[in-house]
Structures are given as structure tokens and as C-alpha cells.
Amino acid sequence: MKMSGAQILCECLVREGVEVIFGFPGGAVLPLYDSFPQFPQLRHILVRHEQGAAHAADGYARATGKVGVCLATSGPGATNLVTGIANAHLDSAPIVALTGQVARPFIGKDAFQEIDITGITGPITKHNYLVLKAEELAAIVQEAFYIARSGRPGPVLIDIPRDVFIDEAAFNYPEKVSLRGYKLTPHGHPVQIRKAAKLINECKRPLIIAGRGVILSRAFQQLRELAEKAQIPLTTTLLGIGCFPESHILSLGMLGMHGTAYANMAVDASDLVIAIGMRFDDRATGKVSAFAPQAKIIHIDIDPAEIGKNVRVDVPIVGDVRNVLQVLNEQITPQTHVDWVRQIDDWRRKHPSNVIRDHDGLLPQYVVSKIYEVTQGDAIIVTGVGQNQMWSARYFGYDKPNRLISSGGLGTMGFELPAAIGAKVGRPELTVWCIAGDGGFQMTIQELATAVQDNIAVKIAIINNGYLGMVRQWQELFYGRRYVATPLSSPDFVKIAEAYGLPGIRVTDKLQVVAAIEEAMAHEGPFLIDFQVEPEENVYPMVAPGAALGQLIEEPRADIEAKVGPRETSNL
């Protein structure tokens, strides 16, 4: 039986287990939209801007571990997806982006709403396709989903001309994907694993740096076994947060530019760094030439191209993190590393990075910590980019994986609201808090209408300090407090909420914080809180851009110094 290209696509999506599509219609995809009523299993959520569709698919993918799907028409619809696709690419989020294209006879003629989206997205997708025949569609869709979710996940784009949706073809769904040039290396090389085990068994000051690869390969048990068996302190990257419980005695929290002091000091002093499912981003390493200067480095990653890209590696292991750790753990002899753990505890005591100072005004850290208390940590936190992101990363104790969803690699302001919508759609049973800055929130504010129309119960906390806060902080610290283009006026967010049709309240006093969070949680639908916080609060500690991790700028804190004595300069 012949089917139209549009029906073939829908049938493939159903077979791939797709439940929801975030999209926005237009001329080139009208034939596809017209077939949606025949496939009631596919829920379509109408966004207000295609960037929101890509971020929502990304948030959905990270919250569920499944492939997220977004859909846009040709031309501007497709180009509006670009930021969201790039974001998914840099954070290895599996999404499939579907775009309409002008009909085949018009391709290359600069037709209305024609753009070369496969050309544009080449550098920001794991792979992309232009479908030229309805007969090829089924195999391409199957390949696209396979590529998106396997190996190191990432976005795949399929560009489909309008007349391919209309053309009829037999539904020909291959039994399995066969891609000659796509090789996966799921198992680490046994010789390398043996070398790694030897280093781990002989080292004195080991440190695990765990990244998002641990979450993607669901290696939580194996990671924990390694850390506990050999008593190895563990720090995570921003995107690795939650892969190891932060309440665990061996957890040092996040490392890097705004990581905890003790995590960065541990990197600096370690004699063996075991990097697992992470890619040595400059925000995590600081000055690369001064990164872990005393350490040998073991690097476990599924992507061979990440090995040796940014830092020198002594023992590279290419493979799926879970498989590698399973084999590695068998070769580890139990250790204690008493002196090393004691040394780190001493740093922890003298440099308590996550202690919030007593303050009468409303501190952003305080807001995040109260969201933690009220939700008892059982919530998905979706952040914007900048100060709000760093406070969200640092002051919410993440004990479970996939509970922090944040734009790490691309650093996309405006990610927060649409990604939170996607996360909530994917995990409706969980509380989802969108923690936004007043700047980033205004970049995708229109998605409030999406949340209201589909009653997607995201809880929104705007950390409103009247500045583009992280840029202001850099101007304060490195540009002589010249606040150029960072003071920010915002609309009345409570009225905005009201206008969009969701409840909103304003909080200006720390005594109102808990009640406001509780009110938001008690409400069934989306809810917005405008927290008007201290305008010039900084994120500490900080490693200046280009500086080594050991060169920390710490919060000037009389109360801590009174307790532990003056802190030695942390330039180790």
C-alpha cells in the first residue's frame, strides 16, 4: 500500500516511540501538519518561536533520555532552529530536527522561504539529510534517530521538500540501520584499562572528574563503586552534576570557573586525574597549560576525537563509560587515601564555598537553597545562563541524575523556559523549576504562552537583579566597574504573567521566599515568581578567565575568617 511522504514520516516517528513534537507550522510543512490528525499518538505542542521548539526538544531529551523532536517550516522557520540545534550539539543532546524545504523544482532558485539549512547546520549537527525521494524517507528517519541517540548523542536534521511530503511511495522500513562509515567503540581496550587500573592502584592523590558522559551511559552505580572502592574524591563538570550524589562524603561538587574552591584545589594538587565522560572544556580546566600540573591523566570517553584534543592524556580509553568502568572496577584494589581525604577536608573547612552569608537582603543563593528545601531536592532544575545558572548549579544539592538541565557548551541565554517546558512534558510526574535571569528570560519570554495553552506546569523563578549579572560581574572585577550595557530594565513580570494568563507574584523580602515557593508548588499549572534580589551579588569563588584553577578569587568573608582564621592565598 502506498503512503504519502507525510504519512511515512509520521509512521516512522510512531515506530521510533516519539510521543511529542515541538513545532511551528508554515507553508512547506503544511502537508505534514495535515496528516497529524491521522496519528493521534503524536502530540504536537505549538511553540511561539522555533528556537523554543529546539530547546524544548533538548530539555525533553535530557529529562527523559529519549530523542526529542522539533519541527519547523522552511526558510526562517529552519534558521530559527539554529541556536537550539547548536545548543544540543555542544551538549550532546539527542534531538531530531525536522524542517520543511521548498518543493524540489524550486531548490536552488532562491524561492520564497528557501534556505540551505543542511549547509547551515552542517557544523552544528552530528549529521543531516536532504530527502530527495519519498521512497528514501523511512530509511533516513530510522538512520537519523539511530545516529542521534547512539555513541556520543547529538542533533540530526532532516530537511524535507514540500512535494516529498505529498509524493506517494511504498512504506519500506528497513529491518536495521546499516551505516558503513559509522563505527561505535563501546568497549574500552583491555590493555589501556589495565594501565589505568595500575595507575589508580598506585597513586596517592587521585581525583575523579565526572561529566555528562556518565549520565548519558547511565553509569551511576559503576562510578560510585569506583569512587568508594578506592576512596577517590570526585568532582563533576556543570553537565555532570547529579551523576554522583552531592551529599556523598567523597563529593566535592562542581569544578571550574565557578566551582568550589576545594574541587579546584584538589585538581591542582592531585597526582592522578581520572576524567570520565567529560571533554576538558575551558570553563572546567581554566588555563590548560596549568591544569592538574602534578597529575597523570586517565581519560575515558566514547568519542575518540575528544582524547588529546585539549589536554595531554597519559592513558586514553575510548569506550562507553559504563562498560569501561565495569571492567576497570574489577581490577581496583580497595584503598583509603587517608591523608589526601583529610587534606581536602581541611580545604573544605577553610574554604566553605557553598555557605550562604547572613544577610538581611534577598540573596539569590538563598532563593535557590529554599527551592531545594521546599522541593526536598526532588525537582528538575532548568537554568538560564550566567549567574542564575551558577547559583542553581551550586546551591541545590543534586543527588539524582538528570535533575539539572543547563546550557553548558553553547551557554544559550533563553534556553531556560522552553527547555523547562520540554522537561515537564517529558517528566510530568516531577516538579520542574525554571530558574531564570531577568536578561535571559526576556529572550524566550513568549514561550509563556506555550506553557499556558498546553497547561505545562513549569514553576518559574526569575532571579531579577536588574543587570545582565554575569557580564556585570566581569565588568566589576576586570573592567573597573564600568557597567556598559549591563543595567537592564524589565517589564513588570507579574503583569506579564497575568497578561499571558498564569499567576505571578513578586518577592522582595527573604521572609516571603518559602511561602512563595510553596504557593507556586500548590498551584496546578505554570506559576511565576519574580525574586527581586541583591543587584550586585557576585558568584564566588571565581577563577578569572585565562587563569589556572588554583588561582581563586574568593568571597571576602569576615564570618568565615573569624571561624577558621585568615585564609591562605589560594594561589597554590
Residue 519 φ/ψ, nearest 5 degrees: -65, -40
Among all chains, which residue has been given the C-alpha cell 543547563? 406
Residue 109 or 180 having the CB closest to another protein = 180
Residues present in the chain in total? 572
| 62-101 footprint of another protein as x/- string (CB under 8 A) | ----------------------------------------
Residue 47 or 117 having the CB closest to another protein = 117
Q: Is 27 near another protein (CB under 8 A)?
A: no
* Binder of another protein out of 127, 149, 348, 424 (CB under 8 A): 127
Q: Is 118 near another protein (CB under 8 A)?
A: yes
* Closest distance of CB 303 from another protein, Å: 8
Is residue 121 helix, strand or coil?
Answer: helix
* Closest distance of CB 416 from another protein, Å: 28
Please state, as a whole number, how many other Cβ atoms lie within 10 Å of the Cβ of residue 513.
22
Q: Is 130 near another protein (CB under 8 A)?
A: yes
* Binder of another protein out of 76, 174, 190, 308 (CB under 8 A): 308
Q: Is 309 near another protein (CB under 8 A)?
A: yes
Residue 143 or 438 having the CB closest to another protein = 143
Q: Which stretch binds another protein (CB under 8 A): 121-129, 238-246, 259-267, 472-480?
A: 121-129
Q: What is the DSSP string of 1-55?
A: -EEEHHHHHHHHHHHTT--EEEE---GGGHHHHHHGGG-TTSEEEE-SSHHHHHH
Alpha-carbon Rg for the chain in angstroms: 24
> How do strand 234-236 and strand 251-254 relate by DSSP bridges?
parallel
* Closest distance of CB 250 from another protein, Å: 33
Q: Which stretch binds another protein (CB under 8 A): 24-32, 179-187, 430-438, 454-462?
A: 179-187
Please state, as a whole number, how many other Cβ atoms lie within 10 Å of the Cβ of residue 119.
11
Q: Is the C-alpha dihedral spanning 44, 92, 474, 255 positive or negative?
A: positive
Q: Is 314 near another protein (CB under 8 A)?
A: no
Q: How far apart are CA 5 and CA 285, in angstroms?
A: 48
Q: Is 350 near another protein (CB under 8 A)?
A: no
* Closest distance of CB 117 from another protein, Å: 12
Q: How many CA atoms lie within 13 A of 254 on its CB side?
A: 31
Q: How far apart are CA 336 and CA 270, in angstroms?
A: 15
All cell numbers assigned to 497: 504573567
Q: Is the C-alpha dihedral spanning 437, 440, 446, 452 positive or negative?
A: negative
Q: Is 181 near another protein (CB under 8 A)?
A: yes
Q: Which stretch binds another protein (CB under 8 A): 176-184, 361-369, 456-464, 513-521?
A: 176-184
* Closest distance of CB 248 from another protein, Å: 34
Nearest CA-CA partner of 541 in 556, 527, 554, 523? 554
Q: How far apart are CA 302 and CA 307, in angstroms?
A: 9
> How do strand 296-301 and strand 315-318 relate by DSSP bridges?
parallel
Residue 160 or 470 having the CB closest to another protein = 160
Cβ pair 81, 97 in contact under 8 A: yes
Q: Is 180 near another protein (CB under 8 A)?
A: yes
Q: How far apart are CA 433 and CA 183, in angstroms?
A: 38
Q: How many CA atoms lie within 13 A of 301 on its CB side?
A: 25
Q: Is 305 near another protein (CB under 8 A)?
A: yes
Residue 150 or 490 having the CB closest to another protein = 150
* Binder of another protein out of 34, 303, 373, 554 (CB under 8 A): 303
Q: Which stretch binds another protein (CB under 8 A): 250-258, 305-313, 368-376, 559-567?
A: 305-313
Q: Which stretch binds another protein (CB under 8 A): 59-67, 175-183, 411-419, 483-491?
A: 175-183
Q: Which stretch binds another protein (CB under 8 A): 120-128, 237-245, 252-260, 392-400?
A: 120-128
Q: Is 179 near another protein (CB under 8 A)?
A: yes
* Closest distance of CB 307 from another protein, Å: 8
Cβ pair 441, 462 in contact under 8 A: yes
Beta carbons within 8 Å of 410's beta carbon, 6+ residues apart: 83, 86, 87, 89, 90, 91
Q: Which stretch binds another protein (CB under 8 A): 20-28, 65-73, 119-127, 380-388?
A: 119-127
Residue 117 belongs to what H/E stretch? Answer: helix 117-121
Binding residues for another protein, how many (CB under 8 A)? 19
Q: How many CA atoms lie within 13 A of 563 on its CB side?
A: 10
Residue 156 or 405 having the CB closest to another protein = 156
Q: Is 149 near another protein (CB under 8 A)?
A: no
Residue 178 or 333 having the CB closest to another protein = 178
All cell numbers assigned to 130: 536532504
Q: Is 126 near another protein (CB under 8 A)?
A: yes
Footprint of another protein on this chain (CB under 8 A)? 118-119, 122-123, 126-127, 130, 147, 179-183, 303-305, 307-309
